[in-house]
């Protein structure tokens, strides 16, 4: 067994935990932003609920997307490539999180994997990029935010109608919607854990199996647990940074708009998870908030355009930046 390969795998798993920490730090906002922003639940309680259900989603259904990233985008990742991809994606997400900017960990990971694939090709190896899988992933990146905006828009009017009807009958409508928001948070966190854990650990499916001799099914379970624990750690340390941006700066959220946005976000992410496609939970979440902002304000006047433009700029930069960093790290490791 190759000792050097084993060392790279161990270092890579540490990097995977670091990337999972980034997931929790940057993406804890995705399931919690509306509940916190609308005042339905405190920041600390929201992060606790997020951590519990994100870990459940990662452990119970995270294997679907882990397989797509691990054995779909680039075939036969070696330990050096996996390590480079994890470090590159993690470094970019850390920088964005420090600035309170919600970026896509999915785009970061896929961009990093493509980066090491290109680098291997430029160094004389075979890139082995599966462009059919890449096209499907990119298509999901386009359809998921559009679907989230549309669904959030529709749900806002449905929930607003329900709110008025229940209020007219003298029901404790605010408490009902608080409960809806908490349920949506839990559902969204579960969907997030199931979809996004692959961003931290997916590149290690084939690597761990081939280098350490661990069967694929056991590898998937171990990686899901590792990713889930990292997500929890990230949420409890830096999770508040992006939550404050999405929960309070895009549009003013109330119980109705918060409930509509979160249910739209969770539904879209979970649908793509069942399909095994890694979508950006950040894009779905932010797009859902934009959708209810448009519905509330009857147009773009309902959202903070500067905040949205800054977020979109971060989204556009993610794939090329992550790819460039990953290619550089892989080249350096290969030379050394």
* Tens-place pLDDT, residues 141-164: 788 899 999 999 999 999 999 999
74-83, 231-240, 269-278: range with lowest mean pLDDT: 74-83
* Phi and psi torsions of 101, nearest 5°: -100, 120
Whole-angstrom CA distances from 318 to 21, 116, 181, 235, 280 are: 18, 15, 30, 21, 12
What is the overall mean pLDDT for the chain? 85
> Quick one: pLDDT at residue 71?
55
* Mean pLDDT on 80-87: 88
CA distance 154 to 135: 29
CA distance 7 to 82: 12
Global pTM? 0.81
Q: pLDDT tens digits for 36-70?
A: 888 889 989 999 999 999 989 888 887 777 666 65
CB atoms within 10 A of CB 44: 11
Judged on CB neighbours under 10 Å (0-12, 13-18, 19+), 1 is exposed
Q: pLDDT tens digits for 305-336?
A: 888 888 888 888 999 999 999 999 999 988 87
In which band, very low, low, confident or very high, does the pLDDT at 219 lie, cut at 50, 70 and 90?
confident
> Quick one: pLDDT at residue 1?
47
- Give me the sign of the Cα torsion angle 312, 313, 314, 317: positive
> Quick one: pLDDT at residue 322?
95
* Mean pLDDT on 84-99: 92
CB atoms within 10 A of CB 139: 11
The residues, ordered by sequence, that sit 6+ positions from 165 with a Cβ below 8 Å of its Cβ are none
The residues, ordered by sequence, that sit 6+ positions from 8 with a Cβ below 8 Å of its Cβ are 79, 80, 82, 83
């Amino acid at each position: 067994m190759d000792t050097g390969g084993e060392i790279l795998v161990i270092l890579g798993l540490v990097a995977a935990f670091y990337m999972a920490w980034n997931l929790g730090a940057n993406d804890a906002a995705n399931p919690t932003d509306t509940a916190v922003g609308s005042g339905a639940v405190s920041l600390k309680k929201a992060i606790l609920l997020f951590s519990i259900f994100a870990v459940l989603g990662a452990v119970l259904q995270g294997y679907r997307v882990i397989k797509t990233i691990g054995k779909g985008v680039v075939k036969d990742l070696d330990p050096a490539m996996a390590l480079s991809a994890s470090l590159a994606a993690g470094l970019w997400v850390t920088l964005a999180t420090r600035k309170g900017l919600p970026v896509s960990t999915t785009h970061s990971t896929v961009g990093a994997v493509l980066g090491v694939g290109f680098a291997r090709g430029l160094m004389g190896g075979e890139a082995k990029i599966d462009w059919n899988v890449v096209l499907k992933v990119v298509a999901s990146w386009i359809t998921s935010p559009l679907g989230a905006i549309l669904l959030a828009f529709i749900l806002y009017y449905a929930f607003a109608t329900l709110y008025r009807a229940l209020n007219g009958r003298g029901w404790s409508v605010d408490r009902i919607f608080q409960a809806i928001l908490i349920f949506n948070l839990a559902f969204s966190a579960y969907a997030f854990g199931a979809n996004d854990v692959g961003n931290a650990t997916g590149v290690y499916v084939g690597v761990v199996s081939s280098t350490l001799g661990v069967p694929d099914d056991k590898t998937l379970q171990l990686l899901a647990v590792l990713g889930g624990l990292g997500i929890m750690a990230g949420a409890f340390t830096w999770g508040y940074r992006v939550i404050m941006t999405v929960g309070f700066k895009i549009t003013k959220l109330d119980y109705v708009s918060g409930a509509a946005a979160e249910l739209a976000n969770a539904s879209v992410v979970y649908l793509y998870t069942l399909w095994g496609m890694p979508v950006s939970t950040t894009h779905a979440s932010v797009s859902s908030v934009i959708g209810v902002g448009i519905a509330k304000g009857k147009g773009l006047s309902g959202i903070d355009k500067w905040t949205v433009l800054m977020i979109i700029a971060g989204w556009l930069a993610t794939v090329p930046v992550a790819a460039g960093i990953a290619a550089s790290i892989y080249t350096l490791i290969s030379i050394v």
